[in-house]
Amino acid sequence: QPVTVYCSGRTDTGVHAAAQIVHFESDAERPLRAWTFGTNSHLDKRVAIHWASEMPMDFHARFSALDRSYRYTILNRATRPGYQAGTIGWERVLLDADKMHAAAQALVGEHDFSSFRSAECQANHAVRYLKRISVRRELDRVIVEVTANGFLHNMVRILTGCLLAIGRGERPTNWMSTLLEVRDRTQAGMTIAPRGLCFLQPSYPAEFGVPDFEKNKA
């Protein structure tokens, strides 16, 4: 029978997803193991179902989510990436991750993120509550992680592009605060390429029993 799938969130073309949550309605009686392994037998090899559960009728993959988390990984060295080329960003200039992290903290809280939305964004308004954002270095990688109650079109890619300009020393640390105030996309930096961005997962109220895949991953 036809199945309509509702997803917890959308990603741009070229962005990856580690733990997307979807829900659908069906009258079919099947063991949960069959929903997982049976579905995987029909999916593209780049996609796999890891978990399935029968949910209460008031659960909705999108509208029940409390927040969503993304990670942008940047390879920060002089030479380009090899086998990871399609899944990681790249910056030749040595980045100051500490300065990027300090600058990013201006974004925490409820703000109008008009400076960080694309012209094609169809959201009714640009106000979002950004719960946390961090920038850290792990050897030759700089990792940006951000969690919010929702995101605008290209929002993570735009704010990461702005943080790169700060990390390269092209902009001052307080530039992120300035961009929030002006609410003007034309004043912000480039929209960084999608390949380094990964939708990590959404989170839900505990009563729904959705696993924390990022915490429990191998």
Catalytic residue among 12, 27, 58, 112: 12
Quick check: 108 and 132 in contact, CB under 8 A?
yes
Q: What are phi and psi of 43, to 5 degrees?
A: -90, 155
Q: Tell me how far apart the alpha carbons of residues 94 and 138 are, in angstroms, rounded to a whole number.
A: 13
Q: By three-state DSSP, how is residue 72 classified? A: strand
Pair of tokens at residue 62: 């999108």
Q: Where are the alpha helices (DSSP H) in the chain?
A: 32-40, 97-104, 155-167, 175-182, 213-216
- The answer to whether 12 is a known catalytic residue is yes
Q: Tell me how far apart the alpha carbons of residues 150 and 71 are, in angstroms, rounded to a whole number.
A: 14
Beta bridge partners of 69: 147, 201
Residues 6+ apart with CB under 8 A from 23: 5, 6, 55, 59, 60, 61
Pair of tokens at residue 191: 């929209």
Quick check: 127 and 197 in contact, CB under 8 A?
no
Which residues carry out catalysis?
Answer: 12
